[in-house]
Amino acid sequence: MRRTALNITTLKTLLVAIGLAYSTIAAAGITLVQDVHVFDGTAGHEHRSVLVRDGVIVDADYHGPAPAGARVVEGKGQTLLPGLIDAHVHAFRHLELPLMFGVTTQVDMFTSVPIMQELTKAMREGRNQGRADLFSAGTLVTAPGGHGTEFPITIPTLEKGADAQAFVDARIAEGSHFIKIVMEDGFGTHHFRSLDAATVKAVIDAAHRRGKIAVVHISTLANARTALEAGADGLAHLFPGTAISQEDADSLAQLAKAKHAFVIPTFSVWESMAGIKASDLLDDQNLSGMLDKEERAALDTTYGQTPQPALLTAPSIVTAALRKAGVTILAGTDAGNGGTQYGISLHHELAKLVDAGLTPREALVAATSAPAAIFNLGKRGRIAAGYKADMVLVEGDPLQDVKATRRIVEVWKDGESVNPLRAEQRRHVAEEAAPHRSQALDLPFEGRISLLKDGKLASPFGTGWMPSSDRMAGGMSDVKLDVRPGTETDGGPGAVMAIQGQVRTGFAFPWAGVAFVPGVSMQSVDLSAAKVLRFRVRGNGKYQAMMASNGMHARHAVSFDAGAQWQEVAIPFTAFTGVDPTAVNMIGFNAGPKPGDYQFEIADVRLVDR
């Protein structure tokens, strides 16, 4: 039993590493940041001392001695800012990554409902340390076949003339913090069906009837005007264009002003569309050195095939016009899209807003107090007594040069330093970049890794086999693992693992099954001597084989069917897309993610070269 407990701890550690589980470290304690320049969310103050206790800023202008037990941080020559807020992301992965770059809150414009619900619950229960907070629109409101339906998740859509109030109420029941509406006719040669003006207005009115903000995705001047006329609280983008008349820009700005609407220009994603990479981020080792290969690859790409910088002319001119008219501008990246990355891209967006005419102070407001107020995010976005201790300490003065936000000294989330996570991320990136020194493990006899020893489940190497469910990550699924000897006719030699899983909702990716950990503790193991995962199975439905590598940072599941008769399944390692066979951390067989009761048996698991 002791061994099992150890194994579960190992697995839990691995899960924490990939952000499936959340940190349970509490007791953030007392921190005093001393003699620091403070940007409080609206203005700068020299020589302040800020006192934090149990995750909350208790005094933003503290004059007393350091309280007993306080960690004192010298802030001379540095600036303390509120944790940054990205007002436009799609947060379906990398939930810990924003923190590495000082982004402590994300406003999400469309993600899967279980992810939204899991984060909302964790935040409500005060256990969302170690990853960015999320306020999400959940499922967006789009037409059948509209933008948002092209992704591999099935979403409800709104037919013309259908009951907009019922649709909005269903989103609110799911937990949507605000309502996101799509007006999109297409990009390039790709055409979408779009909601028409009357439906957009009906949805906006329905949201307002429930006290919810309605944000409209647009990508043309015409749709921007229509959305504002319909009463949108804000625009989720501006629009690309090689030219726009000053008259059109000013007229749109006046309309937005008259309607008290805000605008999130999202230069970062428009640059990607225009074929322009954020080379300033990629070239800045201090920043992009925090991204692993996969995370960097997403940033080091563009949607547009050829660079067309002229397409940024219209959003730049309109942003300047909005500023002149006094319209609230928010900093949002559309991270989750190609050419962007969570957290890091916000620093690029801040620079783009300044290029478009905002002062550094205005750009910082657009990424702190303004989105917090607009989106009703509670006590965040300011360095002030009673506010959440989400903070970033940077070298220099970003009110003079906004790029100073990139020189991060320390990040706090809920009063807890994120620097240990930042150090862990740097270690992970360095390890990945180092020449591979490990040696391929010799495969065991016939490749078999599911053994029976003294009537118990065993393996020829590694930590071995263990039951595995999302319970260890806070989910509700249960699993029962029984082991018996196999015969030649019954699953082959070695152990037969009989798995009973109750997969329950309550976690973003529910699962219940059995896992094999090939390394001792968290070590990766080079299994490249094998090319294929072979096993025998019988069951009553659809299951998943999962493989994870590189400290669980890369992982992929492959579905397989199993019926009442034993059958052999062979999955080539190449089917586990993105997983590195020279650095494997886990192989698993799971029921889920669809909720339900599952039974299946796995036997004769082998790692073979063909």
Chain contacts with Zn ion (rule: CB under 5 A):
109, 334
Nearest to 448 by CA among 498, 486, 416: 486
For the record, the structure tokens of 422 come out as 């930042």
**Which tokens go with 560?**
């397989």
Taking the C-alpha atoms of residue 104 and residue 222, their distance in angstroms, rounded to an integer, is 34
Task: Please give the Cα distance from 92 to 132 (Å, whole number).
Answer: 12
- Nearest approach in angstroms of CB 210 to Zn ion is 23
C-beta of 40 vs 334, nearer to Zn ion: 334
Q: Which is nearer to Zn ion, 106 or 549 (CB)?
A: 106
Using the minimum distance from each CB to Zn ion, give the nearer residue, 109 or 232. 109
E strand segments, 229-346: 234-235, 262-263
Sheet containing 532-539, strands listed edge to edge, beginning at the edge strand earlier in sequence: 478-485, 495-503, 596-608, 532-539, 567-572
Q: How far apart are CA 374 and CA 85, in angstroms?
A: 12
Closest CA to 292 of 610, 568, 550: 550
Nearer to Zn ion, 99 or 109 (CB): 109
- Nearest residue to 89 (alpha-carbon basis) of 74, 68, 73, 104: 104
Q: Quick one: 109 or 261, whose CB is closer to Zn ion?
A: 109
Least Å from the CB of residue 141 to Zn ion: 14
Decide if 212 contacts 286 (C-beta within 8 A).
no
Q: Which is nearer to Zn ion, 73 or 329 (CB)?
A: 329
Residue closer to Zn ion by CB (options 261, 429) is 261
Instruction: List the one residue out of 140, 136, 130 whose CA is nearest residue 106.
Output: 136
Contact 560, 544 (CB under 8 A): yes
Token code pair at residue 15: 């899960």
Q: Least distance (Å) from Zn ion to the CB of residue 336? A: 7
- Is the Cβ of residue 96 or residue 334 nearer to Zn ion in the bound state? 334
User: What angle in degrees, to the nearest 10, is found between the helix axes of 164-174 and 113-124?
Assistant: 50
For the record, the structure tokens of 2 come out as 């002791």
Least Å distance, CB 367 to Zn ion, is 17
Shortest CB 581 distance to Zn ion, Å: 35
Between 157 and 268, name the residue whose CB sits nearer to Zn ion. 268
* Chain position whose Cβ is nearest to Zn ion: 334
Name beta bridge partners: 57: 52
For residue 470, CA distances in Å to 3, 8, 115 come to 20, 11, 14
